[in-house]
Structures are given as C-alpha cells and as structure tokens.
A and B are shown apart, each in its own frame.
Chain A
C-alpha cells in the first residue's frame, strides 16, 4: 500500500460520522484519535479508534465544542490532521485558523472560503457575481427593520427571514404580510443573536412549492473542481432533512444540468477546495432554480452520493487535504440507479422530542444495496446531550420504485429496541402516494398528516 496521506488524524466529532471518518482513515492506513466527553466513554467511535482522549464533561460546549481541549488532545497525541465531521466545529473558521497556526491540517476548505461561503449574504454576492440566480431579496445582511421592509416589499410578500450566520434551519421566520414585518424582524434578530452571536438577517422572498436540490462538489488544491451529482432533500420537517435521494424525480435533464453547471461555476469562482455542497431551491413548474446557501463541509447525506456514484467521499476529502489531486475527472463520475437515505432519529414520534436511553436489542438490515451508517449497538446507552440522529439507512436500487420497495423491506427488518425512533414515520412517508409519484415539495410533511391519513391544507 502506498504512503498514507497522513500519519494520524484526530476526529473532532462523535456518533455515526466519527465512525464513518475512522473507517475511512483506517482504510487509508491512517491512525486515528477519537475525542469524547465523559458521557461518551462507551461510544462506538471511541472503541474503534486507535487511541482515544477524554476532552471534557458531557455538555457539547465543554467537550466537542471546546477548542482548547481538542487542540490540546491533538498536540499531545501528535495528530497531523483534524477532521471536524459535520456540525460542531466543522464550519468554525476560527477553529480552522487555530489548527493552521498549530501546524495541524484542518480537513476541510480554506479559512477564507469558510468565511465567504459560510456567510449567507457573502455567498449570495459570490453567486450574483457569476450570474447564478438567487432568490429575489437582498444580498446584504440587514439589521435595520425599516431598510429591510423596503427590500421585502420590493421582493414581494410572503418573505422569509434567515440568519446570515449559523445553519441547520434555525432562526428562520416566514412573514406573510407587511403589517407583521417589524415584529417578526425584531424577534428573529433576538433569536439569531442569541443562537449565533450575529444579528444580521437575510431577507428573501418565500417560495412555497419548491424542491430542495443540492449539488455535491469536490475541489482539490490544484484547481480541479467537479460535481458528483445532485441530491433532492425536499422531505423535511422544520427545516431538518429527513429523507434525501438521488437523482431527483421530476427534475428535467436540462434543469438538472443548469443547476450542476451553476454549482461548478460558483465553486470555481471562489477557488474552492475540499468537499462542499451548494444548495438550491427549484421550482419544477416554472423550470427555475435559485441559489440559497453553501455548506463548506461534509454533509450528513453524503452516503447518497457515494452509493449513487460509487465513490468514497470521505477518503477523497482526506486525500484532498493532504494535497493530492482529485481521484476522478468529471467525465468519470456518473450517478446511476436510485439511492434514498432515511435519517433515523431517537425521538418520540408523537411529540417529536428526543428519546435517549438504553438500546436493549439492535439488529440492522443488510444485503444487496443496503447500507447502515450508525454508532448504535446492543447495550449502548444513547446519551441525552447531543442531537437525536442515531442511524442512517441508505438503500440503492436500479430505479426509484425498486429502491423504495427495498427500503421498506429494510425498515421492516430494522430492530432498535429500548428507545423510540421515527422509523414508523419513514414507513408512512414511503407508502404515501404523493411521495411515490414525486408530487411533493419542501412543505410536504407540514401539509400532509401521515398519522391519520388526512390531508391538511
């Protein structure tokens, strides 16, 4: 085997993504350091890694977000690179800068690109510059309600207010009417400042019946940049993705090509390197698309692209960080078959609150085209301190109907006892005729009541 790209990588994360990264590192011959809180002593990523270091007490702010502790662990274990996973410090430019100044490679994009593309207003301006369509609204973060109202009137109500900093769908507010605007604006500002420390809001026209279409891109440090196809992530609840698939049903070839080209154009214009995902909203009826934001990190739903294109994105990301060129040229990448991922959360399905606890019985499905990315095991205690995603089930079939059917069989086989999960919700979504026919958009879960088979409008 050739020389590994790094000798030792510290994974600054936990759960299923830490397990994923550790596996990729071990496949590349790289030793791994797992960091964990006191609540994660028995976590799977700790068991799998070459070494582990406890970095703090249970709360994320004291452990997985504790930059000093993580850097100490990296220096003490002589890690030469850190992989931040997703969430936590993955989009924290200050953290990436600190890694740089300690001589430790941050496995992700440059600090500059994190700052530009991580800020929604700056990212919009980058898109404007290369002629990538953006949602009617303003490409400048706003703090003044009067100015913002002018922008809103010009774009046309209803309006969506968004945080410039931060992500994960937090701090979003829909304003139906100009009369509600001032109140909504100041409330949103307070929330956003508390959550992200930055009161700037983006004002955009709210588009009701759209699909969330994102493009996976990968760039190396030698100016090569390609896309690896799109993912449709329209099935969401409160802006949290639940189901992602590739390709997108009902998306015309021409619209898909325009979206992919726009993503590559945007990535190249900022000289992007590492993995990234460029998110768009697409109006299938009007045949139009609009850039919304970019995620300058590995995405939760990366396995959809991996299964669809037969690539290993995590290994690729590690190689890129080590200065190696991309493994594939654009012409070598093609999305085949149909792949769907369902996110399995530890949650009470009726009240949608997290459901931590001891897993008393665990049996994942398997077989041809069935993949499970999870850190669960029988006897594991799911802690209450972190987000509720406990497993991703990804299935690939030769076409969408086959894929859905395989997924249904796999969900029926999946046993997770001791905690509550949203597996039943996924069964209902997959069985719904609108999901099966492609008659859905980002508000699907809000407009369809799956538990009583009634449609609310």
Chain B
C-alpha cells in the first residue's frame, strides 16, 4: 500500500502505511492542519483521493462517492507545523540512502526517543541499505528534540533524521 503526498512545495515522499477507517480520519486531520493540498492513496482495488477545498474542510472521495468531512478537534498528536529550529541545535543527517529503523530489531526498544539524553557516538538509529544495517551515531551529546522520520521510511542522502539540542 503506497501513499503519495503532493503539495506545492513538498517533495514527493514514498511511505508504506497500512490503512483502515481510523487512519482515514487521522489522515484527514493531518491534511487539514498542514499545507498539503491534495492526497492520493492507492491500495489494490481502492483509491482514496483527498482534496482541500476550503480552510479546515476536506473533501473525501472513495471510488465514486463524495462526502464532505470537517474534522472535529481531538487530542490526537499530529505533526507540528513547520517551526523555527534554533541555530545551536544540531541536525543529524543521513550519509547514505536507505530505510530508517528506530530499533535494532522489530521486538526491541528504539535506540532513542524524543526527550532522551544521548552521548556523542551513541547509536541513534539504523539506516538499512541493501540488507546492510548502518548504525548512525550521535554527532554530539545532548537532548533529542525531534525524531524526523517514522519507522520504515525511505531516507535520502542528507535527510535530517534527528534534531539534537546540545545544551539539553
């Protein structure tokens, strides 16, 4: 199941997500709170097309039906809108292309969580390239302010994986 996110200034991203009705609700909320204008999702036999019409309102179209959905405010945590990152914060960037994994193996705990304090050279995550697991070390000590990707996401060269506050 693949997701294509399209927006004026957004890059096209490839993400692997599984979808159910709760996910559609979540997706609509994310859409209405971002500056993404259009979202297309495809799964064998099913296509979901979401288009932003008016502020806060999203049109949901599955197959031939069209329904309007105005999201009610909830306590769901959503990706925060683009915020200014202080200059002192350090961006941890991927040196290679691959797939981002937060844990050493599917059943283990993640290497690092938001809010954790890490030391320089601690392993933060794995970027897997062609079955080789490359551990990405922390370039400095500090507090993990933000984890920028989700598990299993494709990583480009230079992509920001983590933001560390060295004074944290």
Chain A residues engaging chain B, CB cutoff 8 angstroms: 38, 49-57, 63, 68-69, 71-73, 75-77, 102
Beta-carbon contact of A72 and B12 below 8 Å: no
Beta-carbon contact of A55 and B97 below 8 Å: yes
Question: A73-B97, A76-B98 are contacts. A49–B157 as well, Cβ < 8 Å?
Answer: no
Question: A68-B129, A68-B130, A75-B130 are contacts. A38–B157 as well, Cβ < 8 Å?
Answer: yes
- Name which of B4, B154, B157, B158 has the most chain A CB atoms within 10 A of its CB: B157
**Cα–Cα distance between A52 and B6 once the two chains are bound (Å):** 12
- What are 28 A-B residue pairs whose CB atoms fall within 8 Å in the complex? A38-B157, A50-B4, A50-B12, A51-B13, A51-B14, A52-B11, A53-B154, A53-B156, A53-B157, A54-B97, A54-B158, A55-B97, A56-B97, A56-B157, A57-B157, A63-B157, A68-B130, A69-B96, A69-B157, A73-B97, A75-B129, A75-B130, A76-B98, A76-B129, A76-B154, A77-B14, A77-B154, A102-B130
CB of B159 within 8 A of chain A?
yes
CB of B99 within 8 A of chain A?
yes
**Cα–Cα distance between A51 and B3 once the two chains are bound (Å):** 11
A76 interface neighbour in B11, B12, B97, B158, Cβ under 8 Å? B97
Q: Chain B residues near A51 (CB, 8 Å)? A: 4, 12-14
Within 48-100 of B, Cβ neighbours of A (below 8 Å) are at: 96-99
**Cα–Cα distance between A335 and B163 once the two chains are bound (Å):** 60
A72 interface neighbour in B4, B14, B97, B158, Cβ under 8 Å? B97
Q: Chain B residues near A72 (CB, 8 Å)? A: 96-98, 129-130
Beta-carbon contact of A38 and B158 below 8 Å: yes
Q: Chain B residues near A102 (CB, 8 Å)? A: 130
Classify the secondary structure of B's interface with A.
loop
- Name which of A53, A56, A76, A77 has the most chain B CB atoms within 10 A of its CB: A76
**Cα–Cα distance between A53 and B99 once the two chains are bound (Å):** 12
**Min C-beta distance of A136 to chain B, whole Å:** 48
Question: A72-B130, A77-B14 are contacts. A53–B97 as well, Cβ < 8 Å?
Answer: yes
Q: Number of contacts between A and B (CB, 8 Å)?
A: 54
- Name which of B96, B97, B154, B156 has the most chain A CB atoms within 10 A of its CB: B97
**Cα–Cα distance between A77 and B153 once the two chains are bound (Å):** 10
Closest 9 CB pairs of A and B: A54-B156, A72-B97, A72-B129, A76-B154, A51-B12, A54-B157, A73-B97, A56-B157, A69-B97
Q: Chain A residues near B11 (CB, 8 Å)? A: 52
Beta-carbon contact of B96 and A76 below 8 Å: no
Q: Chain B residues near A50 (CB, 8 Å)? A: 4, 12
**Cα–Cα distance between A69 and B130 once the two chains are bound (Å):** 10
**Cα–Cα distance between A71 and B157 once the two chains are bound (Å):** 13
**Cα–Cα distance between A102 and B129 once the two chains are bound (Å):** 12
**Cα–Cα distance between A102 and B154 once the two chains are bound (Å):** 18
Beta-carbon contact of A54 and B159 below 8 Å: yes
Residues 151-168 of B, flagged 1 when their CB comes within 8 A of A and 0 if not, give 000111111000000000
Q: Chain A residues near B12 (CB, 8 Å)? A: 49-52
**Cα–Cα distance between A54 and B156 once the two chains are bound (Å):** 5
On chain B, the number of residues with a Cβ less than 8 Å from chain A's Cβ atoms is 17
Within 125-168 of B, Cβ neighbours of A (below 8 Å) are at: 129-130, 154-159
Q: Chain A residues near B157 (CB, 8 Å)? A: 38, 53-57, 63, 69
Q: Chain A residues near B96 (CB, 8 Å)? A: 68-69, 72
Q: Chain A residues near B158 (CB, 8 Å)? A: 38, 54, 57
**Cα–Cα distance between A27 and B79 once the two chains are bound (Å):** 36
Q: Chain B residues near A49 (CB, 8 Å)? A: 12
- Name which of A53, A68, A72 has the most chain B CB atoms within 10 A of its CB: A72
Instruction: Give the nearest-CB partner of B11 in chain A.
Output: A52
Instruction: Give the nearest-CB partner of A62 in chain B.
Output: B157
- Name which of B154, B155, B156 has the most chain A CB atoms within 10 A of its CB: B156
**Cα–Cα distance between A56 and B156 once the two chains are bound (Å):** 8
**Cα–Cα distance between A50 and B13 once the two chains are bound (Å):** 9
Q: Contacts A51-B12, A56-B97, A75-B129 known; list 20 others, CB within 8 Å.
A: A38-B157, A38-B158, A51-B4, A52-B12, A53-B97, A53-B154, A53-B157, A54-B156, A54-B157, A54-B158, A55-B97, A56-B157, A68-B130, A69-B157, A71-B130, A72-B129, A76-B98, A76-B154, A77-B154, A102-B130
Instruction: Give the nearest-CB partner of A49 in chain B.
Output: B12
Instruction: Give the nearest-CB partner of A76 in chain B.
Output: B154
**Cα–Cα distance between A38 and B94 once the two chains are bound (Å):** 13
**Min C-beta distance of B160 to chain A, whole Å:** 12
Within 3-49 of B, Cβ neighbours of A (below 8 Å) are at: 4, 11-14
Instruction: Give the nearest-CB partner of B152 in chain A.
Output: A76
A55 interface neighbour in B13, B14, B156, Cβ under 8 Å? B156
**Cα–Cα distance between A5 and B114 once the two chains are bound (Å):** 44
**Min C-beta distance of A30 to chain B, whole Å:** 14
**Cα–Cα distance between A51 and B154 once the two chains are bound (Å):** 11
Instruction: Give the nearest-CB partner of A41 in chain B.
Output: B11
Q: Chain A residues near B129 (CB, 8 Å)? A: 68, 72, 75-76
**Cα–Cα distance between A96 and B13 once the two chains are bound (Å):** 27
**Cα–Cα distance between A72 and B129 once the two chains are bound (Å):** 5
Instruction: Give the nearest-CB partner of B13 in chain A.
Output: A51
**Min C-beta distance of B130 to chain A, whole Å:** 6
Beta-carbon contact of B99 and A76 below 8 Å: yes
**Cα–Cα distance between A73 and B155 once the two chains are bound (Å):** 9
Q: Chain A residues near B14 (CB, 8 Å)? A: 51, 76-77
Instruction: Give the nearest-CB partner of B155 in chain A.
Output: A76
Residues 87-130 of B, flagged 1 when their CB comes within 8 A of A and 0 if not, give 00000000011110000000000000000000000000000011
**Cα–Cα distance between A11 and B58 once the two chains are bound (Å):** 35
**Min C-beta distance of B18 to chain A, whole Å:** 16
